[in-house]
Amino acid sequence: MSDLPPERTGRHNLDPHLSRYAARTAGMTASEIRALFAVASRPEVVSLAGGMPNLAALPLDSLSAQVAGLIADDGLVALQYGSAHGVPVLRDQICEVMALEGISAHPDDVVVTVGSQMGLDMVTRLFCDPGDVVLAEGPSYVGALGSFAAYQAQVVHVAMDDDGLEPNAVREALDQVAKSGRRVKFLYTIPNFHNPAGVTLAVSRRAEILEICRSRGVLVVEDNPYGLLGFDGQTYPALRSTDPDNVVYLGSFSKTFASGLRVGWVLAPHAVREKLVLAAESATLCPPTLNQLIVSRYLSTHDWKGQIKVFRENYRERRDAIISALEQYMPTGCSWTRPDGGFYVWVTVPPGVDAKAMLPRAVTARVAYASGTGFYADGFGSRQMRLSYCYPTPERIKEGVRRLASVLEAEMDL
Ligand code: PMP
């Protein structure tokens, strides 16, 4: 049994099933973000907490005609089971999408998943025994930390700066884990428009990090849901494009099309692919055929690149709004990252302010954010917060930051 208190383990004495749970459930706790969701969704609260994509620009009329047409033309296929590997035509199209970031892949090496979250779960399931170490940026994506905890992997965070993961910090982390006698199974990284840090791994660091991992026998798991959302239309060479045999790549249509369809993919080294398909089969039998065919039709009939450009422009407008509001309102002593794409700004507050403890007071002042501690596996991050600018209007973002700044000022006066 874990020594953690019930609020960390989710195991309460009132639960009559307590003695039945598998040991691995000890690491399963509700994320702070989810716990906040109900309050933060009230209309009077400006929520800078969640990372919901802004879908308002989707062409709903033509999409609904397409879906109706799909069912009329091909309903008996669309509503039937499919293969765990994914619909072949969609796997071909996914290869075209990945080519935009320099990846040349065979469609057989693509496995379609129920969002990239399922890819994270499967990759952890395939590679991690309890006690194995996963290196991850500090801070890192909360959903990935949840998957690592569910398989009882231990996370060792690696420092980042404005250019992303620091190669020397990767070396040091590997040395430190080796000394402790544990084994690093993979480096989990979000190279582009990081969630939650908002930074991008410098192109000049990419080959070095790949070389460090390859030479130490450590796999790289590259999670790239935001790569096509660079505000100037810029893309970066995927890690996978340089080292196909040592990188597992996770992709998603959640940010570039529709998150509710839950269609993502894993591009695995050829040798891993078969196990991945078996893992997917035991998890879901197959990803939803209808949703895969909706994505496939969308890619073949819509100007999907034009649609991504529209999304990017929306997000750029919101990024501009949040950065100018931070500059205008935030008290001295606060700092923040300046994202060139994606959804998030990572804010550091002055020493003495605890962003987690402050959150209920911020919600009372009708603004919500995600406190930094949720993005670390080790309790770090109490002086940090993630602000998501993807969803509210620029006016609401400005008002939210104004409210946040006044809560912070009051906190600093305490
Ligand atoms: N990875 C990262 C870095 C994310 O930000 C998200 C969603 N917030 C995911 C994976 C999961 O995305 P999905 O399952 O919707 O593809």
- The tens digit of pLDDT for each residue in 295-305 reads 999 999 999 99
Position 119, amino acid = G
Burial degree of 232 (CB within 10 A; 0-12, 13-18, 19+): exposed
CB count within 10 Å of CB 283 equals 16
Position of tokens 């810029």?
234
What's the whole-number mean pLDDT along residues 265-281?
95
Beta bridge partners of 221: 188, 248
CA of 214 to the centre of ligand 1 (A): 25
Does residue 15 surpass a pLDDT of 90?
no
* pLDDT score at 30: 73
Q: Please state the atom number of ligand 1 nearest to the C-alpha of residue 118.
A: 14
Position of tokens 């969630």?
195
CA of 393 to the centre of ligand 1 (A): 22
Position of tokens 């025994």?
129
What percentage of the chain reaches a pLDDT higher than 90? 89
* pLDDT score at 1: 39
* pLDDT score at 390: 97
Q: Is 193 left (phi over 0), alpha (psi -120 to 50) or beta?
A: left
* pLDDT score at 7: 52
Q: Choose between 7 and 39: higher pLDDT.
A: 39
Tell me if 146 CB under 6 Å of ligand 1.
no
What's the whole-number mean pLDDT along residues 171-188?
97
Tell me if 374 CB under 6 Å of ligand 1.
no
Q: Which of 195, 261, 263, 391 to mutate to test the pocket of ligand 1 (most atoms within 8 A of CB)?
A: 195
Tell me if 254 CB under 6 Å of ligand 1.
yes
Give, using CA atoms, the residue closest to atom 11 of ligand 1: 117
ipTM of this complex: 0.99
Give, using CA atoms, the residue closest to atom 5 of ligand 1: 195
What's the whole-number mean pLDDT along residues 390-410?
97
Q: For all residues of the chain together, what is the average pLDDT? A: 94
Tell me if 190 CB under 6 Å of ligand 1.
yes
Query: Whole-angstrom Cα distance, residue 164 to residue 173?
Result: 15
What's the whole-number mean pLDDT along residues 115-120?
98
CA of 191 to the centre of ligand 1 (A): 13
Does residue 80 surpass a pLDDT of 90?
yes
pLDDT band at 29 (very low <50, low <70, confident <90, very high): confident
CA of 148 to the centre of ligand 1 (A): 14
* pLDDT score at 203: 97
Q: Which of 31, 121, 137, 141 to mutate to test the pocket of ligand 1 (most atoms within 8 A of CB)?
A: 141
What's the whole-number mean pLDDT along residues 252-274?
96
